[in-house]
């Protein structure tokens, strides 16, 4: 999946702005706020092409555009490729090393790592111990501060999706890379098209296998969450 460079840059800016503001992004907004050195007419033309190609959609009668699953996938794939060989965040490394010094067993370790994951991501984290079939949750209150959750049906669907994710985690078709991202309709347990999952296998000390995940709106901050999961998995591997 490739895009012409200029169109790719426009798509990335739209996705980043939409992640922050949760509002459709217009060509006028890009011109005014993002300092793109293109005419408004050129921006509109490129955004129309991105819409026709399925990377963006236009909700209702809004003048702005929002990313589609295809648009998010293009954005996320570039992040995943970058993070596979990326450096470990030193701040995260120190935090996780500090956790290990304070705990006595792998379960307490995973609990504290899960708590840190929720705190650092400002989202909802799920950690799952494979052998014990034990699921840990953290950060639901912070996640519910996102504007999407003002819709009761959206909140109810999110809670249902969490339950099904925990019950069916072994059914996920994990690829070989350490980071796995499921966007909207890609989530294999049901068609929960409004959500996203960043998840990875990991190994704790005593060789205990686990999964760690960040689950949230499809609009989640992948630019932050993918490097976070990647760093934690690498650190846990170093400490086994």
For residue 169, the model assigns a pLDDT of: 79
Residue ranges matching CATH 3.30.450.40 in the chain: 88-239
CB 83 within 8 A of CB 230: yes
* Whether the predicted pLDDT of 86 surpasses 80: no
88-239 CATH, one of 3.30.450.40, 3.40.50.280, 3.40.50.300, 3.40.50.720 = 3.30.450.40
Whether the pLDDT of residue 195 is over 60: the answer is yes
Q: Residue 130 above 80 pLDDT?
A: yes
Q: How far is CA 133 from the centre of its chain?
A: 24
Q: What rounded mean pLDDT belongs to the chain? A: 88
Give the pLDDT band (50/70/90) at residue 190. confident
Topology annotation, domain 5-67: Arc Repressor Mutant, subunit A (1.10.10)
Condensed to tens digits (0 to 9), the pLDDT of residues 145-161 reads 999 999 999 999 999 98
Beta strands, E only, 93-194: 124-129, 134-138, 180-183
CA dist 147 and 219 (Å) reads: 11
d(CA 173, CA 143): 26
pLDDT at 87: 67
Q: What is the model's pTM? A: 0.91
């Amino acid at each position: 999946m490739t895009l012409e460079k200029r169109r790719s840059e426009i798509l990335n800016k739209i996705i980043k702005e939409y992640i922050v503001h949760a509002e459709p992004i217009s060509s006028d907004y890009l011109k005014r706020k993002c300092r793109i050195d293109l005419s408004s007419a050129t921006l509109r033309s490129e955004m129309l092409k991105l819409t026709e190609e399925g990377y963006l959609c236009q909700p209702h009668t809004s003048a702005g555009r929002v990313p589609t699953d295809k648009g998010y996938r293009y954005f996320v794939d570039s992040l995943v490729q970058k993070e596979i060989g990326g450096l470990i965040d030193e701040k995260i490394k120190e935090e996780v090393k500090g956790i290990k010094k304070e705990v006595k067993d792998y379960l307490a370790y995973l609990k504290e790592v899960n708590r840190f994951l929720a705190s650092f991501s400002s989202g909802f984290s799920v950690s799952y111990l494979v052998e014990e079939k034990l699921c840990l949750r953290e950060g639901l209150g912070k996640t519910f501060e996102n504007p999407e959750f003002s819709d009761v049906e959206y909140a109810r669907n999110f809670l249902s999706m969490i339950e099904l994710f925990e019950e069916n985690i072994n059914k996920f078709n994990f690829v070989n890379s350490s980071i796995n991202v499921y966007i909207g309709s890609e989530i294999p347990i049901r068609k929960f098209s409004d959500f996203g999952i960043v998840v990875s296998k990991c190994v704790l000390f005593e060789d205990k296998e686990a999964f760690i995940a960040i689950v949230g709106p499809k609009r989640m901050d992948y630019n932050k969450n993918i490097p976070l999961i990647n760093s934690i998995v690498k650190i846990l591997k170093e400490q086994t």
